[in-house]
């Protein structure tokens, strides 16, 4: 019967032609093999004779009629390495002598800590399966959820752990999924950084042992991001070669381990960070892990990121009301943000002056940043008191919001809901609401403490004030900030052995507040900011329409940050402001054109003190915002090709995006400093239709000499785009568009 199903499915896929798209999930009951096909990817796992769920294949799409042989456990490598440890299990319990990273580790009340999960049953789910595993003796069940995207072949995996014993169990480690890649030579890519310096692509040869990528901070963190890629070989290529990649959808403490075992096989395990973890599952209770997405590309990191970008836009990001389930989120409005211009020194008059200038530039949305509430004059006071400061705004926010609307922009506001300054009415009233261990010091960062959002009263307070703010004011957008990491993460409402649940409950409540807010105010859009890029992940991106990648707005630094960011995240969510020169951070001076073009690689914003702009600067910014509006969709939702990476001190960098129907392409080119008279390299473009004719139009900064203006896609891809001899100097930038004739 199941075999028959497979045959029908195969016939169906064969009908779709060689480059079969669409997805399929098939179970071969004879071989006990589960197979998922989507895009150009096949993923397969089976039940081996011992009953373990074993990974069988993850790679390029196999023929529809190919049969995947039944799972055979790997051999015992030596008496030191049992077959249980060498077999690539889909979700291994710590037990039976497992020496590699377990997916799950538990302690039972009687002291037993052995958990061995075997296949119990399965059911079909949309584009996938739910496979139930059970401990060989006890009533602990783990349901593994699998689905595959028909277009990108990206898999979504997570687990639900259920205790059907009569006693509680403590979960000490719980992954969302474990991914396996066969033994070989690989390069590992991951993203690291710090405040003001996020998104460094770190690359290293995979070698024996375990590489830990994690946050123990209670939130995603600037220092590492929950994304990885594993490239085949020692000399990876942006455009070619096999890549396995993944991203974890969790905004709390997380961990991804990448392990090369004693037989050189690779396992990637990711989920809740087991550090300081302990989740008590009472009889009948369940724990759901975050989702761990995984994908495969045969086209290098470039191919991998294009798949991920597609998936994020199509399936992760929130949709606007009326867009419908299948409609892609719209490109972001061009914003103005007041932070760098005024810092906390905001006033009705000052904001209106900025808004008038912003409107004259063609900005779509005006955002007032920190400083408008409570007794907020500096970062020493006010967080927690979300009423409008009556000295700064004597008539409330309405006059400013009305003015912004009259200028044909919508209005956005900065909030930092999970935080409190000890100098605030809220803290004076509820000192017990913060994360703390009673009787121990409460470590401050930026003079603030973290509210324990895991508490229901705190959760309700946060939702309550935000709801009120949005009910009372016509606000289209909230910049949701989060400016420190955790310390002393105590939750003394719970019995001591349950207090570590704060790691899960806090993040779940954050998601709950965000989703409730979206339900009550479906038109309000959100930005996730955490002192820049400290909370960017596929969990928060289910609710946040955009993110703030870094507080560092230096346009040259941003090139490398944006390059790093786009390995994991789509330019659609990558906000980029044009700020003043010289830059406050690096004291580097750059032209307005250079700053604009650097920011135009993502979702454009302006953060400069535009009341000081000269007429000429106003004209330049206005012209480029108009040019950006025309090609924005191609830039933020097209296929991105990193033609020359700015990493590793490159003199040059360039990116190109091509829209989905290949009718338009946009190219950005940047020079750090021309050396020894070397001109800008010829840019061999990608992703165009070779047979179509494209007209090249400079957007800014280019003097085209010796290049045709109209030529075939084949010309632009094979001969390449010659930027012209005059394109040289320090901190130079150029942008072009190509339109199909």
Q: Look at residues 673, 679, 569 and name the one whose alpha carbon lies nearest to residue 198.
A: 569
In residues, how long is the chain? 741
> How many Cβ atoms are within 10 Å of 395's Cβ, its own excluded?
10
Spatial distance between the Cα atoms of 588 and 350, rounded to a whole number of angstroms? 27
Peptide bond into 582 cis (omega under 30): yes
Return the half-sphere exposure (C-beta side, CA atoms, 13 A cut-off) of residue 101. Answer: 30
Q: Is 529 in the site for ligand GLA (CB under 6 A)?
A: yes
Q: Is 491 in the site for ligand GLA (CB under 6 A)?
A: no
Specify the residue, 46 or 532, whose C-beta has the smaller distance to ligand GLA.
532
Q: Is 481 in the site for ligand GLA (CB under 6 A)?
A: yes
- Respond yes or no: is residue 551 known to be catalytic: yes
Q: In sequence order, what DSSP letters do the residues of 501-530 get, joined into one string?
A: GHHHHHHHHHHHHHHHHHHHSTT-EEEE-B
Q: Is 563 in the site for ligand GLA (CB under 6 A)?
A: no
Tokens 């900065």, residue?
Answer: 414
Size of the residue set binding ligand GLA (CB under 6 A): 11
Window 289 to 348, contacts with ligand GLA (CB under 6 A): 339
Q: Nearest distance from residue 530's CB to ligand GLA, in Å?
A: 7
Active-site residue identified among 261, 369, 385, 551: 551
Specify the residue, 338 or 732, whose C-beta has the smaller distance to ligand GLA.
338
Specify the residue, 198 or 370, whose C-beta has the smaller distance to ligand GLA.
370
Q: Is 412 in the site for ligand GLA (CB under 6 A)?
A: no
Specify the residue, 355 or 529, whose C-beta has the smaller distance to ligand GLA.
529
Q: Of all helices (H) and strands (E), which one includes residue 605?
A: strand 603-606
Name the residue whose CB lies closest to ligand GLA: 370
Compute CA 101 distance to the chain's CA centroid, rounded to the nearest angstrom. Answer: 25
Q: Which region, judged by CB under 6 A, interacts with ligand GLA, from 201-209, 528-536, 613-621, 627-635?
A: 528-536
Distances (CA, A) of 590 to 445, 551, 553, 595, 612: 33, 18, 12, 7, 16
What is the contact mask toward ligand GLA in residues 365 to 384, using x (rule: CB under 6 A)? ----xx--------------
Running DSSP on this structure, what letter comes out for residue 492? T
Specify the residue, 558 or 662, whose C-beta has the smaller distance to ligand GLA.
558
Q: Nearest distance from residue 550's CB to ligand GLA, in Å?
A: 8
Q: Nearest distance from residue 429's CB to ligand GLA, in Å?
A: 23
Q: Which region, judged by CB under 6 A, interacts with ligand GLA, from 56-64, 354-362, 516-524, 525-533?
A: 525-533
Where do the DSSP E strands lie in 346-483?
A: 365-368, 410-415, 419-420, 449-450, 477-480
Specify the residue, 242 or 369, whose C-beta has the smaller distance to ligand GLA.
369
Specify the residue, 270 or 532, whose C-beta has the smaller distance to ligand GLA.
532
Contact 320, 523 (CB under 8 A): yes
Compute CA 76 distance to the chain's CA centroid, rounded to the nearest angstrom. Answer: 39
As given in the structure block, the two tokens for residue 175 are 């992954």
> How many Cβ atoms are within 10 Å of 680's Cβ, its own excluded?
24
Q: Look at residues 738, 686, 684, 679 and name the one whose alpha carbon lies nearest to residue 705.
A: 679
Q: Is 27 in the site for ligand GLA (CB under 6 A)?
A: no
Q: Is 546 in the site for ligand GLA (CB under 6 A)?
A: no
Contact 34, 45 (CB under 8 A): yes
Q: Is 532 in the site for ligand GLA (CB under 6 A)?
A: yes
Q: Which region, judged by CB under 6 A, interacts with ligand GLA, from 309-317, 391-399, 463-471, 529-537?
A: 529-537
Q: Is 414 in the site for ligand GLA (CB under 6 A)?
A: yes
- Respond yes or no: is residue 402 known to be catalytic: no
> How many Cβ atoms are within 10 Å of 280's Cβ, its own excluded?
20
Q: Is 483 in the site for ligand GLA (CB under 6 A)?
A: yes
Q: Of all helices (H) and strands (E), which one includes residue 177?
A: strand 169-181
Q: Nearest distance from residue 539's CB to ligand GLA, in Å?
A: 19
Positive or negative, the Cα torsion across 646, 652, 658, 664?
positive
Q: Nearest distance from residue 529's CB to ligand GLA, in Å?
A: 5
Active-site residue identified among 28, 135, 481, 545: 481
Specify the residue, 56 or 354, whose C-beta has the smaller distance to ligand GLA.
354
Q: Which residues bind ligand GLA (CB under 6 A)?
A: 339, 369-370, 414, 481, 483, 529, 531-532, 548, 551
Q: Catalytic residues, which ones?
A: 481, 551
């Amino acid at each position: 019967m199941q075999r028959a199903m497979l045959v029908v499915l195969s016939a169906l896929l064969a009908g779709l032609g060689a480059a079969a798209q669409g997805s399929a999930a098939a179970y071969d009951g004879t071989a006990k093999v589960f197979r998922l096909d989507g895009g150009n990817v096949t993923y397969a796992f089976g039940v081996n004779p011992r009953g373990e769920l074993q990974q069988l294949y993850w790679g390029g799409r196999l023929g529809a009629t190919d049969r995947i042989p039944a799972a055979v456990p790997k051999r015992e490598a030596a008496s030191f390495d049992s077959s249980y440890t060498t077999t690539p299990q889909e979700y291994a319990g710590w037990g039976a002598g497992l020496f590699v990273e377990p997916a799950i580790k538990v302690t039972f009340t009687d002291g037993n800590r052995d958990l061995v999960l075997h296949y119990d049953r399965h059911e079909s789910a949309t584009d996938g399966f739910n496979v139930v595993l059970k401990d060989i003796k006890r009533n602990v069940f783990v349901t593994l959820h699998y689905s595959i995207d028909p277009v990108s072949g990206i898999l979504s995996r997570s687990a639900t752990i259920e205790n059907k014993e009569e006693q509680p169990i403590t979960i000490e480690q719980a992954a969302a999924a474990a991914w396996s890649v066969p033994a070989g030579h690989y390069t590992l890519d991951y993203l690291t950084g710090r405040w003001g310096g996020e998104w460094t692509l770190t690359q290293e040869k995979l070698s024996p042992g375990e590489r830990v990528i994690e946050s123990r901070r209670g939130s995603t963190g600037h220092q590492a991001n929950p994304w990885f890629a594993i490239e085949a070989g020692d000399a990876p290529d942006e455009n070619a070669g096999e890549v396995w990649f993944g991203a974890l959808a969790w905004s709390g403490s997380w961990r991804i381990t990448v392990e090369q075992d004693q037989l050189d096989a690779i396992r990637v395990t990711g989920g809740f960070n087991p550090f300081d973890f302990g989740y008590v599952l009472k009889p009948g209770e369940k724990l759901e892990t975050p989702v761990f997405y995984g994908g495969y590309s045969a086209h290098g990191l470039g191919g991998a990121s294009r798949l991920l970008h597609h998936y994020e836009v199509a399936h992760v990001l929130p949709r606007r009301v009326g867009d419908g389930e299948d409609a892609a989120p719209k490109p972001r409005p061009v914003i103005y943000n007041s932070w760098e211009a005024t810092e906390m020194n905001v006033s009705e008059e000052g904001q209106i002056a900025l808004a008038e200038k912003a409107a004259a530039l063609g900005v779509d949305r005006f955002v007032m940043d920190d400083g408008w509430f409570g007794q907020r004059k500096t970062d020493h006071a006010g967080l927690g008191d979300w009423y409008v400061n009556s000295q700064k705004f004597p008539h409330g926010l309405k006059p400013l919001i009305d003015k912004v609307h009259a200028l044909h922009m919508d209005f956005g506001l900065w909030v930092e809901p999970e935080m409190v300054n000890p100098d605030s009415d809220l803290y004076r009233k509820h000192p017990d609401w913060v994360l703390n261990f009673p009787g121990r010091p409460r470590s401050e960062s930026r003079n603030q403490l973290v509210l324990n959002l895991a508490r229901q009263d705190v959760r309700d307070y946060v939702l309550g004030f935000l709801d009120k703010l949005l009910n009372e004011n016509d606000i289209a957008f909230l910049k949701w900030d989060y400016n420190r990491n955790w310390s002393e993460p105590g939750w003394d409402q719970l019995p001591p052995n349950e207090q570590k649940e704060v790691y899960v409950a806090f993040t779940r409540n954050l998601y709950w507040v965000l989703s409730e807010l979206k339900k009550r105010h479906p038109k309000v859009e959100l930005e996730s900011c955490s002192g820049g890029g400290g909370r960017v992940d596929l969990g928060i991106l289910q609710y946040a329409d955009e993110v703030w990648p870094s507080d560092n707005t230096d346009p040259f630094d941003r090139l490398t940050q944006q390059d790093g960011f786009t390995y994991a995240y789509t330019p659609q969510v990558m906000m980029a402001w044009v700020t003043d020169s010289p830059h406050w951070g690096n004291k580097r001076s750059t032209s307005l054109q250079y700053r604009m073009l650097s920011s135009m690689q993502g979702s454009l914003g302006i953060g400069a003190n535009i009341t000081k702009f000269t007429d000429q600067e106003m004209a330049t910014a206005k012209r480029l915002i108009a040019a950006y509006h025309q090609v924005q969709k191609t830039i933020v939702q097209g296929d991105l090709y990193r033609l020359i990476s700015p990493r590793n001190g490159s003199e040059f960098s360039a990116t190109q995006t091509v829209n989905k129907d290949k009718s338009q392409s946009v190219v950005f080119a940047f020079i750090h400093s021309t050396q020894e008279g070397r001109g800008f390299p010829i840019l061999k473009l990608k992703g165009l239709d070779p047979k179509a004719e494209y007209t090249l139009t400079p957007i800014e900064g280019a003097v085209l000499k010796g290049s045709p203006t109209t030529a075939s896609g084949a010309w632009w891809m094979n001969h390449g785009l010659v930027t012209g001899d005059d394109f040289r100097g320090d901190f130079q930038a150029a942008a072009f568009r190509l339109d199909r004739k």
